[in-house]
Amino acid sequence: MVDTVKSEIERIASAHLGKAGDGTVVKPYVTPDSRDASLLVPIPRHLNRTAYGITDADFVGHDVWNCYEVSFLADNGYPVNGVMVIEYPSDTPNIVESKSLKLYLNSYNMMKFDADSETDLYWGFEEVVCQDLHNALYGMNVDIGLDKLMFSPMRAMFFPNRQNSNVTEPFKVQFLTIEDIVDVSKIQFDVFNEDPNTLVITNTASAVNRFHTSSLRSNCRVTNQPDWGDVYIHMKGDRSLTPDSLLKYIVSLRKENHFHEEICEMIYKRIMEKINPEELFVACLYTRRGGIDINPMRANSEDVFNRIVNVTRLMKKTMRQ
């Protein structure tokens, strides 16, 4: 009887498990008991950029991934849990598909690391992860020892037992939330596939405009599941975009199927094509899914990128993250 009840519960509960976004059945995944770098799936950036006429020369930027469910075992079997932050530049040949990164990190969950000290334990874990990610991002085997790690184009930092203290909204003074300055009840939102024609130009006489909205929703290219995020846009120049039209454009991404990095680059490219501002910075800070949040940021120069990130403290978290 117990087995019959258990089977019935599993049958009911599995209604949406083991299925892809289109409803087709996929095989259940079995987590390995030790590191498996083959789980990482590199995806060439150019595959999406070519369709939109985007190249590395269009911007500078970084992709920042916060991984909240990182765990491995000390040599005595004690679980070491923490948060890992992965940051790498936007000109790497590849990105890493997010679910594959989660599965890769999960492969460490039952793996033991031997070290003489707690510090060596964390560094040993970090070195292995950095090497695997570097190979996936750049598509080559590169020897990066601990002495070169901090100077590598990719930086991974592991913080044991870190508390999320930066959960306040630190950008509101710097960025105007569009919904606070326009009456959304008087705007007709009827375009839900990406449409740059929704953007309306306005003259600004070299003014700086910084806008924010939490209305970003796009969909995962692989699973078609929704991804939610906050958009931060800094523009400086003789022309800008009206806040209501910018909001309509962000909402038009609601049925788009792209990776997070692609959405950010698409927004950047459309604004640049529309008004060619002196300064442009776009950040899409997505909420976590599967224990990972992804935060692509793009700007038209290193100076603009560093200045906006430093002034607005944009590397800190949003309320939703």
Query: Is 106 in contact with 31 (CB distance < 8 Å)?
Result: yes
Q: For residue 60, count other CB atoms closer than 10 A to its CB.
A: 19
Task: Say whether 36 is catalytic.
Answer: no
Task: Say whether 67 is catalytic.
Answer: no
Q: From the candidates 220, 230, 264, 284, which is the catalytic residue?
A: 220
> Taking every pair of C-alpha atoms in the chain, what is the biggest distance, in angstroms?
77
Closest to 84 measured CA to CA, from 164, 163, 160, 166: 160
Distance CA 93, CA 53 (A): 16
User: Using H for helix, E for strand and C for coil, what is the string for the chain?
Assistant: CHHHHHHHHHHHHHHHCCECCCCCECCCCCCCCCCCHHHCCEEECHHHHHHHCCCHHHCEEEEEEEEEEEEEEECCCCEEEEEEEEEEECCCCEEECHHHHHHHHHCCCCCEECCCCHHHHHHHHHHHHHHHHHHHHHCCCCCCCHHHHCCCCCEEEEEECCCCCCCCCCCCCCCEEHHHHCCHHHCCCCCCCCCHHHCCEEEEEEEEEEEEEEEEEEECCCCCCEEEEEEEEEEEEEEEECHHHHHHHHHCCCCCECCHHHHHHHHHHHHHHHHCCCEEEEEEEECCECCEEEEEEEECCHHHHHHHHHHHCCCCCCCCC
Q: From the candidates 132, 227, 230, 293, which is the catalytic residue?
A: 227
Ramachandran area for residue 130 (φ above 0: left; ψ -120 to 50: alpha; else beta): alpha
Residues annotated as catalytic are: 220, 227
